[in-house]
Amino acid sequence: MTTALGGLPAVLTAAGPASAVAPADGALGLAWLLVALPLAGAAVLLLTGRRADRWGHLLGTATPVAALVVAVAMWVALLGSSDRVRELELGTWLPGGAFSVDLGMRVDPLSMTFVLLVTFVGSLIHVYSIAYMAHDPHRRRFFAYLNLFVAAMLLLVLADSYVLLFVGWEGVGLASYLLIGFWDHERPNAVAAKKAFVVNRVGDIGLIVAIMAMVAVAGSTDVGVVHEAVGAAGEGWATLIGLMLLLAACGKSAQFPLQSWLGDAMAGPTPVSALIHAATMVTAGVYLVVRSGPVYEAAPTALLVVAVVGAITLLFGAVVGCAKDDIKKVLAASTMSQIGYMMLAAGLGPIGYAFAIFHLLTHGFFKAGLFLGAGSVMHGMGDEVDMRRFGALARYMRVTWVTMALGWLAIIGVPPFSGFWSKDRIVESAFAVAGTWEPWVFGTVALVGVGITAFYMSRLFFMTFHGTRRWDDGTGVVPGGEPTGRVDHPHESPALMTWPMIVLAVGSAALGGALAIRGAFTTWLEPVTGHVEHHEPVLPVVAIMVTTFLLIAVGVVLAWRQYAAAPVAVVPPRGSVLTRAARRDLYQDAVAEAVLMRPGQYLTRSLVFADRQVVDGAVSGVARGTAGAGELLRRLQTGFVRSYALQMVVGIVALVVVVLAVRI
């Protein structure tokens, strides 16, 4: 530590005017607008109050669209330039003598990809929300929070220093908290928001510690400087920083063991689930890991841990997804699982970075599409979320059915839809990773995950749109079960909701293939991830592919047999041990409660006890002693003037005696 600090000025001078990186000019100089526009939107919407109720949603939608326009302009400018890594200096933010933090933005293919994803998907979801939230009295506030979220997310991905990234990181967390608890007049929603906030704080500790370690090692938090310095600082520091960054990523991306908040976060409005818990916020962890690639290069152990965490979460999410009946919770579990894929890919090292981001991009599209589809179904079904109450909806909502079908095919990895191009590469890379046992373990996990994904997503799709009708259409006849007493009139959602779904469905279908042509996306990301030659997988590529297709087919067929061809019970059957465990999120809350909450409560109670008995005891003991002394002295206060005079005389006599004694 001392040596690291001692070497601080040297590092600073070595880092120099932090730029071997080219400055961002032209359209790229507008990067700050990306953050400023939605932020201004949020500020205006929040500050003008109810006066903005009539036009608030329009302004709230306009800002991300404007940001999208700026982002596209920047993208075009970046494509036309040979120097793809740019730095936009906005001034010094925290001048602190030897240590200072610059306010700057890093424009490179990685951040550009995120910017495009966030602004594009974000804009669509804003549009969708106009209709979805049309009847909510607080729609303006909702749009303000959405804008705040977009601004924070863009700041996160554009930041050129980890401290600035942290600001965006926290902003995302705040916006997420506000949006999950948007309907906080219902207690479970407020609790879910609180849970998400607290779990995210645990991850934030990791980021803070990592930043402190960076300051100790590099004397700076600038991304470029840190990456150079960490390589030189030795594996110990790199492992520490890597693991701490992983902790942060786990918190934000709902990875094991900090995954518990994501399921509950579905308490928020559906567009929030689509925007935050599918397309953008939860991907921040993957972004952080990929962005910090050089750190993990210097720390193989940390990298392995990333892969392991990804693998565990992948299976965890998949298993949970198989058992849930709440359509949004299935999608949340699926998100967890898919991000597990991304983490796994990122944990494979440079060969996986590009595929992690690629999958992140395609996932952003199809998962947003699926969520919006789920929102559309709920919209048509009177906010019902239990899939056991759906069934045979395909006839009633054609557009939703088609768009969700495309998203479904994409996520389970059927060629030629997006998911195939990205996920298949991750499976291949998992088999191709260097090591003795790693390729087999990670490869198998990824393969099994593909099969389970196919099963639970098909389950969702079939339970919702096919099979028997399990809701009351007003005739009183419910083929699949007992009437609930509620009559549903499923209908297609308005155009403002369907159009974003259509756009996303097109993306789900075609984006992956388009970007995979001649490895266009990997090449685009090379300035950040570096060029890596692939190892040969331990199994032939063809064998892997065939196995993948077989597993997908098995999963879909199983789901069809169980949930489309056969009747689905309205009341969930008891199920096996595994099913029951999965329904309860594999006892994640119980474990957290037993491992963390109860000991914490006992600790608190014992501290309270100690505080009461020891600290308060001492304090009140002093007080009681004083009071007792006062009680004794009170006896002297008779209220009779003569008593006081007597006391005076006592004093005088004593005084005179003392004077006399001194004189003699």
Partner 1 sequence: MNLTNYLVLATILFTIGALTVLVRRNAIVVFMGVELMLNAANLAFVTFARMHGDLTGQVVAFFVMVVAAAEVVVGLAIIVAIYRTRRSASVDDVNLLKS
Partner 2 sequence: MTTLLASAGAALPVLTSLAETGRTSTGEEVLFWCLAPVMVIAALGLVFARRTVYAAMSVVLVMICLAVLYVAQEAPFLGVVQVIVYTGAVMMLFLFVLMLVGVDAADTFTDALGAHRWISAVLGVGLGAVLVSVVLTAADLAPSGLAAANADGNPVGVARIVFGDFVVTLEVVGILLVTAAVGAIVLTHRERLVRRVRQRERADARVAAGETLTPLPAPGVYARSNAMDVAALGPGGRPLEHSVPRVLRVRGQERSVGEVHAHLGPEAVGSTPPERAITGEEQVR
Name the residues that contact partner 1, by CB under 8 A.
637-642, 645-646, 649
Classify the phi-psi angles of 83: left when phi > 0, otherwise alpha if psi is within -120 to 50, otherwise beta.
beta
φ, ψ for residue 92, nearest 5 deg: -90, 130
Q: Secondary structure of 331-398 in the HEC alphabet?
A: HHHHHHHHHHHHHHHHHCCHHHHHHHHHHHHHHHHHHHHHHHHHHHHHHHCCCCCEHHHCCCCCCCCH
219 φ/ψ sector (left φ>0, alpha ψ -120 to 50, else beta): left
Least distance in angstroms from the C-beta of 650 to partner 2: 6
Straight-line distance from the first to the last Cα atom of the chain, in angstroms, rounded to the nearest whole number: 70
Interaction of residue 637 with partner 2, rule CB under 8 A: no
Using CB under 8 A, which of the segments 43-51, 136-144, 356-364, 634-642 binds partner 2? 634-642
Tokens of 112: 């550009």
Tell whether residue 635 is a contact of partner 2 (CB under 8 A): no
CA distance 399 to 233: 56
The one-letter amino acid code at 553 reads A
- Residue placing its CB nearer to partner 2 in the complex, 212 or 646: 646
* Among the residue ranges 45-53, 156-164, 598-606, 644-652, the one whose residues contact partner 2 (CB under 8 A): 644-652
Minimum distance from CB of 637 to partner 2 (Å)?
13
Tokens (6 digits) for 471:
């809701």
For partner 2, the binding residue among 517, 571, 577, 660 (CB under 8 A) is 660
Strands 86-94 and 101-107: antiparallel
Can you tell me the distance from the alpha carbon of 157 to that of 179, in angstroms, rounded to the nearest whole number?
A: 20
Please report how close the Cβ of residue 188 comes to partner 1 at its closest, in angstroms.
55
List the single partner that 92 binds among partner 1, partner 2, none, CB under 5 to 8 Å by kind: none
With beta carbons less than 8 A apart as the criterion, state whether 254 and 239 touch.
no
642 touches partner 2 by CB under 8 A: yes
- In the complex, the smallest distance separating the C-beta of residue 634 from partner 2, rounded to whole angstroms, is 16
Partner from partner 1, partner 2, none binding residue 47, C-beta < 5-8 Å depending on class: none
CB nearer to partner 1: pick between 578 and 649: 649
Q: Does 649 bind partner 2 (CB under 8 A)?
A: yes
The region of 44-52, 261-269, 420-428, 638-646 touching partner 2 under the rule CB under 8 A is 638-646
**Phi and psi at residue 555, to the nearest 5°:** -60, -45
The number of beta carbons lying within 10 Å of the beta carbon of residue 436 is 8
Tokens of 50: 């109810």
CB neighbourhood size of 274 (10 A): 33
Looking at the Cβ atoms of 632 and 664, the one nearer to partner 2 is 664
Q: Name the minimum Å distance from CB 634 to partner 1.
A: 8
- Smallest gap, in angstroms, from Cβ of residue 631 to partner 2? 19
Q: How far is the CB of 637 from partner 1 (least distance, A)?
A: 7
Cβ closest to partner 2, residue 1 vs residue 664: 664
Q: Evaluate whether 321 touches 330 at the Cβ level (below 8 Å).
A: yes
- Least separation in angstroms between CB 193 and partner 1: 54
Would you say 94 or 649 has its CB closer to partner 1? 649
In the complex, the smallest distance separating the C-beta of residue 656 from partner 2, rounded to whole angstroms, is 5
How many residues contact partner 2, by CB under 8 A? Answer: 15
Per CB under 8 A, does 652 bind partner 2? yes
Of 523, 613, 620, 638, the one binding partner 2 by CB under 8 A = 638
* 655-659 long-range Cβ contacts below 8 angstroms, 24+ apart: none
Which parts of this chain interact with partner 2 (CB under 8 A)? 638, 640, 642-643, 646, 649-650, 652-653, 656-657, 659-660, 663-664
